[in-house]
Structure 1
Amino acid sequence: MPENNGHDGHHGASIELENLSKQYPGSPQPAVDDVNMEIKAGEVVIFVGPSGCGKSTTLKMINRLIEPTGGRIRIGGEDVTDIDPVKLRRKVGYAIQSAGLFPHMTVAQNIALVPKMIGWSKTRITSRVEELLDLVGLDVGEFRGRYPRQLSGGQQQRVGVARALAADPPVLLMDEPFGAVDPITRDHLQDELIRLQHELHKTIVFVTHDFDEAIKLGDRIAVLREQSHIAQFDTPEAILTNPADDFVSGFVGAGAALKRLNLSRVRDVEITDYPTVTVDDPLQEIFNRLRSSGTNEILLLDKRGRPYKWLRRGDLMRARGSLARAGTLVTDTVTRDATLRDALEAVLTDNAGRVVVTGRRGEYTGVVDMETLMNSVHELLEADRLEALEAQHELEGARAERTHAEQEGEGGGMKA
């Protein structure tokens, strides 16, 4: 993957929150009470907790959209509690739910907002806008001049992320950025963020109330209770396997083994190649390819190499010289960064038991089938079973030792 698209970008900066509090006037208790946290440079940290627990307030204090009542904030070692909040916000990208784009500005103008404010030249801004649209997977020629109302929810959200990254800030704050889009788009946006982070290494602080999203995206997760008190701050694996208390267990919910499917990626399992043809291939050639492939279906790709339709033998018999009405449209795909849970859901909603894996521009790269995914599920369940057995043996061993020691003690007493 290209490093930073040749851009000499800032990588992430560390964030330290020290005794951070927020007390609103007239409220008996602080909204955020004495939060202490260290976030490493280049780390993705997720704040998750019940609604009203103060997670968004804590996030907004980092870029001082909400002024803290007490405590300190350091970014890259610099105390930002006293610097000009406008200057601070130029160093910290911010993406929110429903993108928050300005409706009267084009996509390019929305993205150019901060670079323009800090005095970048026109040519530098133009090339940065193009670079960012490419980075978030939107075609420059097609999207640069559009207005937000001409975009889907997912496209708006991509532009929102591009705008947050425009001046190349080391820190990116994201407040439920994918909360307002449909589940399939949300999965794709999450995958896109994972891919971007592989490339950019920003420090990302991300607020969500969805624990599965937290597991999928976070290097570490902060599970917050009321007033942003930290119940547990750890890796997704540690929280899934060793929740600190009942409150955290409640967040993890049932089926921790299946939730661990959120920690494995499509790229970790076998992606099989499938016979493909393109819309430009003659019908007879498609028919011959299917016959010689040994499978009962073939994947039709569009002119850009993106999955378009599944074709079966019967479809070709009925095609009568045209593929316009033949076959089944490919409705759902996953990327290599998608989790096995995403892939399993896609396979289960498609009754043929497989899902197409696509690359960065939606181009076909392979297929993952039900059998591969079920093997992974069985491996996870088996690992859990062995772990539980080991724990049980350890417990029984400890009990036996204790009983033995007690008997020894009693035996010693009798000898005396």
Structure 2
Amino acid sequence: MPETTETTPASGARIHLENLTKIYPGNPTPAVDNVNLEVKAGEIVIFVGPSGCGKSTCLKMINRLIEPTHGRIRIGDEDVTDMDPVKLRRKVGYAIQASGLFPHMTVAQNIGLVPKMIGWSKSRVRNRVEEMLDLVGLDPREFHGRYPRQLSGGQQQRVGVARALAADPPVLLMDEPFGAVDPITRDHLQDELIRLQHELHKTICFVTHDFDEAIKLGDRIAVLREQSHIAQFDTPEAILTNPTDDFVSGFVGAGAALKRLNLTRVRDVGVVEFPTAGLDDPLETIFDRLRSGSHNELLLLDRNGRPYKWLRRGDLARARESLARAGTLVQHTVSRDATLRDALEAVLTDSAGRAAVTGRRGEYIGVVDMATLMNNVHELLEADRLEAIEHQHQLQERRARQTQMEQEGLAGAGGPEGGPGGVV
């Protein structure tokens, strides 16, 4: 197969599911029944619903890991329902829970598998592997030759995402990809996916049972009932503030206002400027900044510009002996793509009520503090209160109109002589 020379990254493609149905032999009830859904190019759509509702089956029919019984699948302008499923899967990235890496292959071999299969040259595959490792925040020199068993769960998931994106597909399918890792790693992986999407603009269909994850990641959320019937397909804001029925309300659960903390990113709120110093700065320069600044502490950055230690004025005596022995190691940072909920958790666990904000490579950007976060929380709660009042007014107006129409209908139906219906 000739090697493609296209260098422009592929952006997302529209996905259109038309009357998509799956009926398994021996079971008269469809697992997925007549689903019609359109995913816009470049957006993240989350499938969320109870266990057994068919959300993973629906996802796997898009790349035909499960063959549909009826219906059509269109990706971009192409009907892929009848094309060679192997060729289709090489055009669609796929990431699953527990990464699905081949244990006998190195990290580089796993990532380079699909590019190699579609005919890329060795040098292009090699360059792509390094590019993808860097993209998901793993040092190519360190991870290139490792095997999956030598990686942590979070590292395996990053490699799994890198492999899914290696051939630059316009569409990425993700089936509970972060479900098998601990909560802290899960938060970091979610932030990584958000960051990657800002760079790549792929079309992503993502299955989860966690509604908070759906709110955090999704541009739109499809809440599915049994047989993948769509209960509501809308933005996270719309579902939180105006669920269509009790079924959807059950997924939203209590504390909808606080769940909206997952809709706002740290990049959307003001980060606070904070005094910093470098690890290689002269001690006297560091001391002068501590003494003269309005804060009683500063943030010491390592040689890569990453948060390293909080250094307080009370640490000055110990710092004269050695910076290594002074200060408190930075325990929690948040990325610019982290949600306000993530930031609030980090700030609440910090004794001084602040957390360092970092960029893509962990470099220091600023500080987010409790005052900034609480101001945003109050704004969200006030917006919810006003929206609830407006919603109540709209309900009252609708009820008043309905009552008026009913009264006018009764008056019109009764005749002057014959009573109701005008019957004599």
TM-score (norm 2): 0.90
Three-state SS of the structure 1 residue aligned to 2:126 is helix
Taking a change above 3 Å as real, the CA distance of residues 165 and 398 of structure 1, as seen in their structure-2 partners, is: closer
Counterpart CA distance in 2 for 1:392 and 1:60 is 41
Aligned AA for 1:49?
G
- 1:46 maps to 46
Taking a change above 3 Å as real, the CA distance of residues 111 and 404 of structure 1, as seen in their structure-2 partners, is: closer
- Structure 1 segment 93-108 matched on structure 2, within 5 A: 93-108=93-108
Counterpart CA distance in 1 for 2:390 and 2:308 is 48
| Contact preservation (8 Å) 1:283, 1:321 | no
Aligned AA for 2:323?
L
Does residue 210 of structure 2 align to residue 232 of structure 1? no
- 1:414 maps to none
Counterpart CA distance in 1 for 2:35 and 2:261 is 31
Identity %: 82
Deviations 1:335-375 (A, max 9, x none): 11111111111111222211110011001010000000000
Counterpart CA distance in 1 for 2:262 and 2:270 is 17
Deviations 1:16-52 (A, max 9, x none): 1112122222334222122111111112110011122
Counterpart CA distance in 2 for 1:177 and 1:304 is 31
- 2:26 maps to 26
Taking a change above 3 Å as real, the CA distance of residues 393 and 50 of structure 1, as seen in their structure-2 partners, is: closer
- 1:250 maps to 250
Aligned AA for 1:95?
A
Counterpart CA distance in 1 for 2:396 and 2:33 is 43
Three-state SS of the structure 1 residue aligned to 2:35 is strand
Structure 1 residues not aligned, in runs of 5+ = 1-5, 409-416
| Contact preservation (8 Å) 1:15, 1:77 | no
- 1:296 maps to 296
Cα offset for 1:278? 2.1
Deviations 1:292-316 (A, max 9, x none): 1121211111111111111222233
Counterpart CA distance in 1 for 2:211 and 2:352 is 30
Counterpart CA distance in 2 for 1:22 and 1:400 is 45
- 2:333 maps to 333
Cα offset for 1:389? 2.7
- 2:350 maps to 350
Q: For this pair of structures, how many residues does the alignment match?
A: 404
Aligned AA for 2:57?
T
Deviations 1:179-212 (A, max 9, x none): 1222222222212211211221111000011111
Cα offset for 1:403? 9.3
Counterpart CA distance in 2 for 1:180 and 1:403 is 53
Three-state SS of the structure 1 residue aligned to 2:188 is helix
Counterpart CA distance in 1 for 2:84 and 2:314 is 68
Aligned AA for 1:311?
L
Taking a change above 3 Å as real, the CA distance of residues 49 and 397 of structure 1, as seen in their structure-2 partners, is: closer
Aligned AA for 2:380?
L
Taking a change above 3 Å as real, the CA distance of residues 210 and 396 of structure 1, as seen in their structure-2 partners, is: closer
| Contact preservation (8 Å) 2:318, 2:325 | no
Counterpart CA distance in 2 for 1:367 and 1:397 is 47
- 2:417 maps to none
| Contact preservation (8 Å) 1:334, 1:342 | yes
- Structure 1 segment 201-280 matched on structure 2, within 5 A: 201-280=201-280
Structure 2 residues not aligned, in runs of 5+ = 1-5, 409-424
Does residue 66 of structure 2 align to residue 90 of structure 1? no
Cα offset for 1:151? 2.1
| Contact preservation (8 Å) 2:283, 2:320 | no
Three-state SS of the structure 1 residue aligned to 2:71 is strand
Deviations 1:254-304 (A, max 9, x none): 111111111111111111121111222333332221111121211111111
Cα offset for 1:404? 9.9
| Contact preservation (8 Å) 2:11, 2:202 | yes
RMSD over aligned Cα atoms: 2.3
More displaced, 202-211 or 305-314? 305-314
Taking a change above 3 Å as real, the CA distance of residues 192 and 321 of structure 1, as seen in their structure-2 partners, is: same
- Structure 1 segment 104-115 matched on structure 2, within 5 A: 104-115=104-115
Counterpart CA distance in 2 for 1:394 and 1:251 is 24
Deviations 1:144-187 (A, max 9, x none): 22222222222221111110011111110001111122222222
Counterpart CA distance in 1 for 2:321 and 2:405 is 85
Counterpart CA distance in 2 for 1:84 and 1:401 is 57
- 2:152 maps to 152
Taking a change above 3 Å as real, the CA distance of residues 130 and 66 of structure 1, as seen in their structure-2 partners, is: same
| Contact preservation (8 Å) 2:355, 2:368 | yes
More displaced, 68-77 or 56-65? 68-77
Aligned AA for 2:245?
D
Taking a change above 3 Å as real, the CA distance of residues 99 and 395 of structure 1, as seen in their structure-2 partners, is: closer
